[in-house]
């Protein structure tokens, strides 16, 4: 039986070596991480430190070279409905309408038409796109496409939302709106979120814990709990203080890496 009081994710001694034309690329080395159900985790670090690789291993899209990632005690051996992935480039089906995109997973699982309608209505409303149900992705803005992508993952009833720089391609204003919407959804659904970002401010705004990674090979350098209550205000002095602290953590790793 599944023990729901255990950490939802347990990553132990995880390493990943890619083979690029016969040359080993050490993407991750001895990564250890425990994530509790309902936590919002941000993974942050310099380009190439293995954030996406770690997310893809948790998603089951990539195998570890050694070590193990467990979801509720069970080693992850492939993708599964408990984990939903949201990418920067949306990953929508352009030939399906917004509603059909959202209902795609449940339809594959054989849900009847009435249930599909009810489910898609619910998630269309949650992401504020009810009026756009019959539009195609090509007729939507980037922010709207990302809302569809989030709704599609939620409609699959996952426990863990894996997000790889989901707002990286959006303009600053849309990004702020979507960050707020994501927080509202997270509070409403109690999902566990693992969110990759390059942006310190985004991490301080969203995360319970920020996991700082360093490159060559990628490992966890710091696991930092954000000492701020919610809701957070980016103009507040204490927010700025935490942002500076995290920025210093990140830049000190970059300068140490250069000096080494």
Residues forming contacts to ligand ATP in the complex (CB under 6 A) are 18, 20, 25, 27, 45, 47-53, 218
Least gap, CB of 53 to ligand ATP (angstroms): 3
Q: Which one, 123 or 165, has the nearer CB to ligand ATP? A: 165
Q: Which one, 49 or 71, has the nearer CB to ligand ATP? A: 49
Q: What tokens does 78 get?
A: 């492939």
Least gap, CB of 170 to ligand ATP (angstroms): 16
Specify whether the CB–CB gap between 187 and 110 falls below 8 A: no
Least gap, CB of 56 to ligand ATP (angstroms): 7
Q: Which one, 52 or 97, has the nearer CB to ligand ATP? A: 52
Least gap, CB of 230 to ligand ATP (angstroms): 26
Q: Which one, 48 or 142, has the nearer CB to ligand ATP? A: 48
């Amino acid at each position: 039986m599944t023990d729901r009081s255990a950490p939802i994710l347990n990553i132990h001694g995880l390493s990943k070596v890619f083979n690029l034309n016969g040359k080993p690329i050490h993407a991750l080395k001895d990564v250890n991480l425990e994530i509790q159900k309902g936590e919002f985790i941000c993974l942050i670090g310099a380009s190439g430190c293995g954030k996406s690789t770690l997310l893809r291993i948790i998603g089951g899209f990539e195998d570890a070279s050694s070590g193990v990632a467990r979801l509720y005690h069970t080693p992850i051996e492939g993708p599964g409905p408990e984990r939903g992935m949201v990418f920067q480039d949306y990953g929508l089906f352009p030939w399906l309408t917004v509603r059909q995109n959202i209902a795609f997973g449940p339809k594959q699982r054989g849900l009847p038409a009435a249930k599909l309608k009810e489910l898609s209505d619910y998630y269309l409303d949650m992401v504020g796109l009810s009026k756009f149900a019959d539009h195609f992705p090509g007729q939507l803005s980037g922010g709207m496409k990302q809302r569809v992508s989030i709704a599609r993952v939620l409609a699959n009833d996952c426990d863990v939302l894996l997000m790889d720089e989901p707002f990286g391609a959006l303009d600053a204003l849309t990004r702020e709106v979507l960050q707020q919407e994501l927080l509202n959804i997270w509070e409403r659904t109690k999902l566990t979120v693992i969110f990759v970002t390059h942006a310190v401010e985004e991490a301080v705004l969203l995360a319970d814990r920020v996991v700082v990674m360093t490159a060559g090979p990628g490992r966890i350098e710091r696991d930092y709990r954000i000492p701020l209550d919610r809701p957070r205000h980016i103009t507040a002095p204490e927010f700025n203080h935490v942002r500076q602290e995290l920025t210093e953590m990140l830049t000190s790793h970059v300068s140490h890496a250069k000096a080494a």
